[in-house]
Amino acid sequence: MADFLQSSSSNFTLNSVKWEAKTGYNAIRKLNPNQIQCIITEDNRRSIVKNGNDSLEICKVVNGMWQTSVGWGRIDRNNAVNAMLRYADTGLTTFDMADIYGPAEDLYGIFINRVRRERPPEYLNKVRGLTKWVPPPVKMTSSYVRGSIDVSRKRMDVPSLDMLQFHWWDYSNPGYLDALKHLTDLKEEGKIKTVALTNFDMERLQIILENGIPVVSNQVQHSIVDMRPQQKMAELCQLTGVKLITYGTVMGGLLSEKFLDTNLAIPFAGPPLNTPSLQKYKRMVDAWGGWSLFQTLLQTLKKVASKHGVSIPTVAVKYILDQPAVAGSMVGVRLGLSEHIQDSNAIFSLVLDEEDVNSIQEVSKRGKDLLRVIGDCGDEYRRA
């Protein structure tokens, strides 16, 4: 399937790939032997993703900051930053944000300055800020890309972004390759430490790698309900060393005790779907198999959770972290409004046994194939 230079340290270089998905996709790709070289080492709490000379260590449980946007309630700046410090103090030191997530990058800038002033240097060395750039479909010139990245660097108050995850709305516009080449130039200048993607599909990921872009990860939607990344994307990731960072892993909170034994078909009978994430992932449940099957999944997860003395979200995240190619999974944080630090830290010590995995898989596979219903990773953002 591929020719590799292998070693015991999982250091491999891809010379050529003949990759054929079960869906029928067949392509032979010739790549420069030195183009992709990824070394992945992992411990219980952290992942190190390395592509060539680019290296970044992240916490496997990533604090997602989409919830700082409009729609989740008013964010008090001081309370939010204090909450970020509480998360980081327990070892949850990686934060994910985007230029379009309201004040997220600004909050990180305030937070990182608090860390510099109030915490020891070795603490600062563990903190990571992953951001995304979601540009409009304009011409991707060097000056435009540079200006956009400088805005994030200023907001986050860092000389170099730990990770820049790039999103592109329209594949018919090939400008994404121009943007990624300019981002790679900025990485060489030291303004970005690692270049990554978000919501790219398998086909475009392969094209990007062929063009010599040293991406280290692709952030995609991935949960027990949405297993699309394991159907096509994960195999290519394992071949090339690119890792997955997942979001939607607890489905905005739907995968929790709060929604167990509820009937949303009856008005006011269940918890309200009062956030953008709950509404989004309820649509995923409907596409997958409906609320009745989802209740069966929640009941199964509750049995596993009770067996191990943890919560449903803890089981849901651990299950995805155990999937091939996954380096980290997102858990959204409603900073200053609610916290789940204990549940997040319980993920690291949880070990799912064969019985647990089989019971979860049995229900998961009863749902519809979302790859056929929606398309590959990120296609939900690109459908007409």
Confidence of residue 38 (pLDDT cuts 50, 70, 90): very low
Q: Provide the token pair at 347.
A: 């993920």
Mean of all residue pLDDT scores within the chain: 88
Residues 6+ apart with CB under 8 A from 316: 223, 224, 249, 250, 251, 255, 301
- Express each pLDDT in 262-311 by its tens digit: 998 787 778 989 889 999 999 999 999 999 999 999 999 999 999 999 99
Name the band, by pLDDT with cuts 50, 70 and 90, for residue 3: very low
CB of 269 closer than 8 Å to CB of 349 = no
Q: Pairing state of beta strands 61-64 and 94-96?
A: parallel
Q: Is the pLDDT of residue 227 over 90?
A: yes
**pLDDT for position 28:** 31
Q: Tell me the per-residue pLDDT of 161-179, one tens digit each, with 9 for 90 and over.
A: 999 999 999 999 999 999 9
How far is it, in rounded angstroms, from Cα 38 to Cα 380?
Answer: 29
pLDDT at 42: 46
The CA angle 56-251-126, to the nearest 5 degrees, is 20
Report d(CA 13, CA 20) in Å as an integer: 19
- Using DSSP, state whether 224 is helix, strand or coil: coil
d(CA 75, CA 83): 11
In this predicted structure, what is the pLDDT of residue 22?
34
SS (H, E, C) 133-154: ECCCCCCCCHHHHHHHHHHHHH
**Model-wide pTM > 0.75:** yes
Contact between 341 and 85 (Cβ < 8 Å): no
Alpha carbons 153 and 185: distance in angstroms, whole number: 16
The model's confidence at residue 31, banded by pLDDT at 50, 70 and 90, is very low
Read off the pLDDT of residues 327-376 as tens digits, 9 standing for 90 and up.
999 999 988 778 899 999 999 999 999 999 999 999 999 999 999 999 99
Alpha carbon distance 342, 362 (integer Å):
28
Q: For the chain, report the end-to-end CA distance as a whole number of angstroms.
A: 35
